[in-house]
């Protein structure tokens, strides 16, 4: 090994704690890239392989009822590679030992076994036998309930409770993410998917020789839109709702959303770490080069070229980065694997392999080295430019000037050490600024990350308390009449009931259109609140349509615009409606109108698809038991239960994430503060030792050095909060999806946590350096030439 | 008569220190002969070190010319000066300037690795009598030993010129003499031109000529008929 390289290694070893601090910052950035891109890649390739192997359909259509012959005709549409006509229905379940209502989407499978599309992955047991009351349950529900094959349960089929035996547990590419209609988060005990023999469902729903749900697989290169249009024309007279592609399929849309959010994180967070790392490398290398100025001169006097000398120091920064990159790769791999197992909680894949995308690793490594070179560039070029003679001479004392601070009375009358602090800060304004900025970045990161918890709280508050005030939503399997309303209203503990009619519809304005469930709301509703963007509530008008702000954005509609609403069931008419109001909502894409008006337009057989209710909480358990026994009730969700399960999921998945992110913030704060303090100590040890010789106490001397850094940290905190708020705003914008808006709310608690973590890290770093000041060797320091 | 190694004429150097201009050299005229041992005397700030730096290609004159053999040092760019130092010059400094993170042997190897026809680092250390201490780090060596490592480092490349800036300034008399002996030996055996800066008038006795500096100029040049050996010096 060349002697110069040996020197390099020994130098880095001597500076190991600083090297480690910088390498940790780089490692964090690299790990996030490795983790997020790894998770993205894993999700994407697993999803694609799963879809391919288990023949996930491309186009989906739901209809009222059509003879099976129609499906054969669908098969003749050019571009249709395969089709599967089946029966699906939501149904309430009677689960032994569970007082709360549960529901499932029932799906028929052919008596020949596996369906042609959306094939099942049997995880346990077998498929149902022909004509038997046997079922296969989705794995999410079965494992949440602890069910094994052989379990008995009841299913309310066509209004009648029937006994069934669970014979198999399965996964399906159609239900990678299982979400009950109208819910924010999965609740695996309350909702699942059940497959059973076709003949059972034919009998239960009076669909012998018919189907009400059609899946289509397209041949490669076929226009999805063309097939959808033909399908819609063909199925219209069978009560077909508008067909839709994968983009609108719930499970697929959620995976897409997750991928998009991972992408945002991967692109926004790591550059922050690289910027901090570049700054730290700049700071430490500058100091190293200052210390080694005589040796630089020496090397040049031996005849080493500028490039050889510059390269020597550049190598130092690259080596530090290499340590960080290697560490980051290890952490990233571990975290990626951990994240992959996390995904197994949300997404139900039969296999989920952590994929290592070497190209991403290479790219992240290049990014890290570029950051290192950027940070090293100025100090290295200074080393190169240093003339050998001036490097050999003792450095001229830095030029201090009386500063603005000196004219401020407080400072002028301050003690000498305090004046030294201010002079030093002003003497190196860039370093002062960047040190503060680096610490601020730690606070920024923490504020931005904890903002997500504020956002979820705000989302819950908005969705479950502000926009919707009902304690319970009771969904019916078929549209119910007014009689059903009185039945429900008379249940124990029911304080108020408002029927809601939901009709599948396509809302369009000029070329823009959106499919949704148009909700008919009771006039004078007390359970639904419509609010303008500014927060002022308004009442639902008798005529016209109220749309959510997200829908308004999607179809670019304003109050007073005329929209065309095509009902996809019932009358199937297309009617013009005027936008009477735009209501601010954080979740979903929705539209509302007067319930009776809607029922009239659509010619609905019933006047309600669900009921919103206010409940006396003491009576809730008995109410749930009663609801379980009403055959028409297919699903019941209570606010309490929904919020509890949402919080459970958050708690399970987020605790590790929180620890990790607190760690990230702390690494940055530690890295910056520790390095700033060490560099200052090395720079000023002569000065500090002189003070000690003059009779200053250890505490007084520490104050000169650490007081300055403490001041910078304190200045950085509000800056970090402001920057964090800005970043949070950016993230809330970048993470908007069709399904969710991330509300922009940052609470004082978030600022508090961010600042506390930074302060704590700073205190730890300063204590370590204070301990070093205590060990300062006065004589040795004074004897050195500098 | 030996040939001329350096031909210096009208050499002037002005540099800025902090916020003031310093006239370090004012029109130096001098010839230095091949394999001569020249001693530079003079008080602090008289310009000796600046002159030595220019001789060694560490610094460039503001005016005037300095010719080494047939190379005009004043006209050389950075790259050429680097090559000049690499091929021709060895330095010894008052404070040794060893790199603390490298052993004695490695400090010498640092130079031999880039030199054209170097000695083996072990041999260079043997010349200064430190062969058995070569794996020690600078902090494990005495001041005299450190300076002898510095001398070994300077001569290991077999330089044409050996420039020594107060080589004994930080050493006591017996230790200083061992260092001077090493320099003397190299001057004699390798025919290396040696220029030694010192404050110490008794060291002047070992030179062929003594040049006294004052206020940036040469005050006096004295020749010795007979050089005294380093071992006979004391202070």
Q: Chain B 130-169, CB below 8 Å of chain A: which residues?
A: 157
Q: Does A304 touch chain B (CB under 8 A)?
A: yes
The pLDDT-based confidence of A777 (bands split at 50, 70, 90) is: low
Measure CB to CB from residue B97 to each of A10, A294, A305 and give the nearest one.
A294
Per-residue model confidence as pLDDT tens digits over A430-479: 888 888 988 898 899 889 888 888 888 888 888 888 888 889 988 887 76
Q: How far apart are CA A138 and CA A172, in angstroms?
A: 8
Per-residue model confidence as pLDDT tens digits over A374-428: 999 999 999 998 877 766 665 555 666 556 655 666 556 666 677 778 877 887 7
- In this prediction, residues B222-227 reach a mean pLDDT of 85
Q: Which residue of chain B is at minimal alpha-carbon distance from A783?
A: B95
Q: How far apart are CA A168 and CA A124, in angstroms?
A: 5
Contact residues, chain B, for A294 at CB < 8 Å:
97
* Chain A, chain B: beta-carbon pairs less than 8 Å apart: 85
- In this prediction, residues A210-223 reach a mean pLDDT of 93
Residue A337: how many CB atoms within 10 A of its CB?
A: 16
Question: What is the phi-psi region of residue A414: left when phi exceeds 0, alpha when psi lies from -120 to 50, beta otherwise?
Answer: beta
Testing the interface with B: which of A11, A300, A302, A305 to mutate, by most B Cβ within 10 A? A302
Residue A646 is encoded by which pair of tokens? 């949402």
What is the pLDDT, as a whole number, of residue A785? 45
Q: Does A652 touch chain B (CB under 8 A)?
A: no
- In a 10 Å sphere around its CB, with 0-12 CB exposed, 13-18 middle and 19+ buried, how is residue B80 labelled? middle
What is the interface pTM, i.e. ipTM, of the complex?
0.72
What is the pLDDT, as a whole number, of residue A655? 64
Flag if B18 and A299 touch (Cβ within 8 Å): no
What is the pLDDT, as a whole number, of residue A786? 38
Residue A138 is encoded by which pair of tokens? 């989705």
Q: Is A395 helix (H, G, I), strand (E, B) or coil?
A: coil
CATH architecture of structural domain B36-60+88-232: 3-Layer(aba) Sandwich (3.40)
Per-residue model confidence as pLDDT tens digits over A325-353: 999 999 888 888 887 777 777 788 888 77
In Å, how far is A717's CA from the nearest CA of chain B? Answer: 37
Q: How far apart are CA A672 and CA A440, in angstroms?
A: 10
Q: Which of A741, A639, A548 is nearest to A183 (CA)?
A: A639
Task: Enumerate long-range contacts of A227-235, CB under 8 Å, 24 or more apart.
Answer: A227/A59, A227/A77, A227/A79, A227/A80, A228/A59, A230/A77, A231/A59, A231/A61, A231/A74, A231/A77, A232/A61, A234/A70, A234/A73, A234/A74, A234/A77, A235/A61, A235/A63, A235/A66, A235/A70, A235/A74
Check: CB of residue B155 under 8 Å from CB of residue B178: no
Contact residues, chain A, for B92 at CB < 8 Å:
none
pLDDT at A783 over 60: no
Q: How far apart are CA A207 and CA B204, in angstroms?
A: 120
Per-residue model confidence as pLDDT tens digits over B71-87: 999 899 878 888 888 88
Q: Which residues pair with B15 in a beta bridge?
A: B22
The pLDDT-based confidence of A184 (bands split at 50, 70, 90) is: low
Check: CB of residue A576 under 8 Å from CB of residue A617: no
Flag if A392 and B53 touch (Cβ within 8 Å): yes
Check: CB of residue A536 under 8 Å from CB of residue A610: no
Residues, chain B? 235
Flag if B99 and A387 touch (Cβ within 8 Å): no
> Residue B131 gets which letter from DSSP?
G
Q: How far apart are CA A293 and CA A388, in angstroms?
A: 9
Measure CB to CB from residue A301 to each of B58, B78, B102 and give the nearest one.
B58
Testing the interface with B: which of A301, A387, A396, A780 to mutate, by most B Cβ within 10 A? A301
Q: Does B202 touch chain A (CB under 8 A)?
A: no
Supply the mean pLDDT for chain A. 85
What is the pLDDT, as a whole number, of residue A312? 92
Check: CB of residue B158 under 8 Å from CB of residue B114: no
- In this prediction, residues A486-495 reach a mean pLDDT of 87
Alpha carbon separation from A371 to A22, A270, A505, B148 (Å, rounded): 12, 11, 52, 43
Determine which of A11-25, A539-553, A676-690, A720-734 has the lowest per-residue pLDDT on average: A676-690
- In this prediction, residues A147-175 reach a mean pLDDT of 92
- In this prediction, residues B180-199 reach a mean pLDDT of 90
Measure CB to CB from residue B86 to each of A7, A303, A389 and give the nearest one.
A303
Per-residue model confidence as pLDDT tens digits over A556-599: 999 999 999 988 777 778 999 999 999 988 877 899 999 988 98
Measure CB to CB from residue B113 to each of A2, A297, A390 and give the nearest one.
A2
> Could you tell me the residue ranges of all domains in chain B?
36-60+88-232
Per-residue model confidence as pLDDT tens digits over B84-122: 888 898 888 877 778 777 889 988 888 888 888 898 999
Q: How much of chain A exceeds pLDDT 90, in percent?
A: 32
What is the pLDDT, as a whole number, of residue A779? 55
In Å, how far is A402's CA from the nearest CA of chain B? Answer: 16
Testing the interface with B: which of A389, A395, A396, A786 to mutate, by most B Cβ within 10 A? A389
Measure CB to CB from residue B97 to each of A2, A6, A298 and give the nearest one.
A298
Largest alpha-carbon pair distance within chain A? 102
Contact residues, chain A, for B114 at CB < 8 Å:
302-304, 308
Residue of higher predicted confidence among A301 and A209: A209
Q: How far apart are CA A577 and CA A631, in angstroms?
A: 36
């Amino acid at each position: 090994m060349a002697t110069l390289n040996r020197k390099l290694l020994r130098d880095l070893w001597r500076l190991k704690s600083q090297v480690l601090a910088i390498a940790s910052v780089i490692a964090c950035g690299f790990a996030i890239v490795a983790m997020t891109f790894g998770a993205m890649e894993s999700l994407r390739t697993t999803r694609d392989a799963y879809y391919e192997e288990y023949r996930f359909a491309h186009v989906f259509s739901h209809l009222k009822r059509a003879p099976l012959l129609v499906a054969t005709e669908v098969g003749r549409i050019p571009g249709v590679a395969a089709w599967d006509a089946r029966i699906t229905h939501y149904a309430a379940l009677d689960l032994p030992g569970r007082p709360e209502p549960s529901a499932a989407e029932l799906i028929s499978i052919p008596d020949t076994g596996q369906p042609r599309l959306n094939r099942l992955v049997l995880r346990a047991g077998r498929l149902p036998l022909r004509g038997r009351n046997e079922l296969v349950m989705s794995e999410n529900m079965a494992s949440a309930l602890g069910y094994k094959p052989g379990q008995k349960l009841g299913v309310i089929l066509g209004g009648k409770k029937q006994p069934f035996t669970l014979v198999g547990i399965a996964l399906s590419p159609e239900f990678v993410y299982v979400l009950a209609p109208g819910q924010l988060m999965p609740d695996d005990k309350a909702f699942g998917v059940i497959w059973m023999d076709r003949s059972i469902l034919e009998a239960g729903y009076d669909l012998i020789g018919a189907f009400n749900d059609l899946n289509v697989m397209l041949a490669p290169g076929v226009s999805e839109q063309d097939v959808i249009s033909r399908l819609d024309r063909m199925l219209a007279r069978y009560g077909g709702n508008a067909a839709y592609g994968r983009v609108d399929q719930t499970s697929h849309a959620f995976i897409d959303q997750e991928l998009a959010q991972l992408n945002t994180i991967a692109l926004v967070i790591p550059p922050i770490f690289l910027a901090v790392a570049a700054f730290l490398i700049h700071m430490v290398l500058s100091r190293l080069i200052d210390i080694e100025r005589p040796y630089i001169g020496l090397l040049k006097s031996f005849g080493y070229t500028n490039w050889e000398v510059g390269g020597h120091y550049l190598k130092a920064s690259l080596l530090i980065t290499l340590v960080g990159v290697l560490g980051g790769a290890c952490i990233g791999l571990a975290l990626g694997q951990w994240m992959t197992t996390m995904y197994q909680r949300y997404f139900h894949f039969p296999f989920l392999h952590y994929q290592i995308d070497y190209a991403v690793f290479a790219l992240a490594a290049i990014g890290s080295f570029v950051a290192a070179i950027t940070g090293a560039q100025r100090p290295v070029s200074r080393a190169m430019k240093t003339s050998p003679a001036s490097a050999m001479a003792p450095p001229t004392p830095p030029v201090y000037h009386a500063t603005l601070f000196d004219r401020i009375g407080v400072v002028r009358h301050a003690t000498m050490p305090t004046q030294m602090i201010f002079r030093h800060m002003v003497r190196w304004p860039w370093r002062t600024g960047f040190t503060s900025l680096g610490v601020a970045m730690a606070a920024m990161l923490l504020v931005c990350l904890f903002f997500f918890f504020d956002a979820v709280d705000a989302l819950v508050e908005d969705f479950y308390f502000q926009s919707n005030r009902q304690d319970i939503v009771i969904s019916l399997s078929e549209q119910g009449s007014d009689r059903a309303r009185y039945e429900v209203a008379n249940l124990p503990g029911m304080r108020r009931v408002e029927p809601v009619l939901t009709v599948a519809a396509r809302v369009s304005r000029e070329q823009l259109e959106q499919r949704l469930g148009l909700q008919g709301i009771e006039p004078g509703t007390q359970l639904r609140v419509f609010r303008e963007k500014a927060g002022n509530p308004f009442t639902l008008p008798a005529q016209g349509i109220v749309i959510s702000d997200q829908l308004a954005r999607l179809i670019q509609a304003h109050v007073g615009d005329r929209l065309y609403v095509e009902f996809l069931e019932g009358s199937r008419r297309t009617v013009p409606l005027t936008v009477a109001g735009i209501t601010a909502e954080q979740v979903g894409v929705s539209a509302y109108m007067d319930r009776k008006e809607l029922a009239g337009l659509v010619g609905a057989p019933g006047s309600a698809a669900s009921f919103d209710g206010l409940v006396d909480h003491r009576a809730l358990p008995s109410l749930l038991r009663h609801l379980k026994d009403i055959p028409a009730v297919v699903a019941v969700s209570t606010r309490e239960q929904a919020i509890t399960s949402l919080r459970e999921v958050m708690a399970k998945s987020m605790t590790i994430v929180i620890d990790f992110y607190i760690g990230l913030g702390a690494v940055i704060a530690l890295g910056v503060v520790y390095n700033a303090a060490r560099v200052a100590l090395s720079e000023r040890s002569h000065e500090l030792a002189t003070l000690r010789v003059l009779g200053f106490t250890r505490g007084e001397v520490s104050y000169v050095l650490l007081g300055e850094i403490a001041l910078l940290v304190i200045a950085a905190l509000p800056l970090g909060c402001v920057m964090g708020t800005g970043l949070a705003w950016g993230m809330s914008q970048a993470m908007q999806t069709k399904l969710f808006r991330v509300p922009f709310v940052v609470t004082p608690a978030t600022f508090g946590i961010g600042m506390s973590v930074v302060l704590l890290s700073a205190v730890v770093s300063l204590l370590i350096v204070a301990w070093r000041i205590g060990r300062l060797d006065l004589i040795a320091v004074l004897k050195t030439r500098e | 008569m030996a040939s001329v190694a350096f031909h210096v004429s009208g050499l002037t150097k002005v540099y800025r220190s902090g916020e003031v201009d310093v006239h370090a050299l004012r029109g130096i005229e001098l010839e230095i002969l091949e394999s001569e041992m020249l001693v530079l005397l003079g008080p602090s700030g008289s310009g000796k070190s600046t002159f030595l730096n220019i001789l060694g290609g560490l610094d460039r004159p503001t005016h005037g010319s300095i010719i080494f053999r047939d190379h005009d040092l004043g006209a050389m760019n950075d790259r050429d000066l680097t090559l000049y130092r690499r091929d021709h010059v060895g330095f010894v400094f008052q404070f040794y300037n060893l790199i603390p993170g490298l052993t004695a042997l490695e400090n010498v190897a640092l130079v031999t690795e880039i030199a054209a026809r170097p000695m083996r680092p072990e041999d260079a250390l043997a010349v200064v009598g430190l062969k058995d201490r070569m794996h020690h780090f600078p902090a494990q060596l005495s001041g005299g030993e450190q300076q002898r490592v510095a001398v070994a480092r300077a001569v290991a490349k077999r330089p044409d010129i050996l420039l020594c800036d107060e080589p004994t300034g930080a050493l006591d008399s017996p230790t200083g003499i061992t260092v001077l002996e090493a320099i003397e030996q190299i001057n004699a055996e390798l025919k290396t031109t040696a220029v030694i800066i010192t404050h110490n008038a008794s060291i002047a006795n070992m030179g062929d000529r003594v040049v006294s500096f004052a206020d940036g100029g040469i005050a006096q040049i004295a020749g010795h008929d007979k050089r005294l050996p380093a071992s006979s010096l004391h202070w």
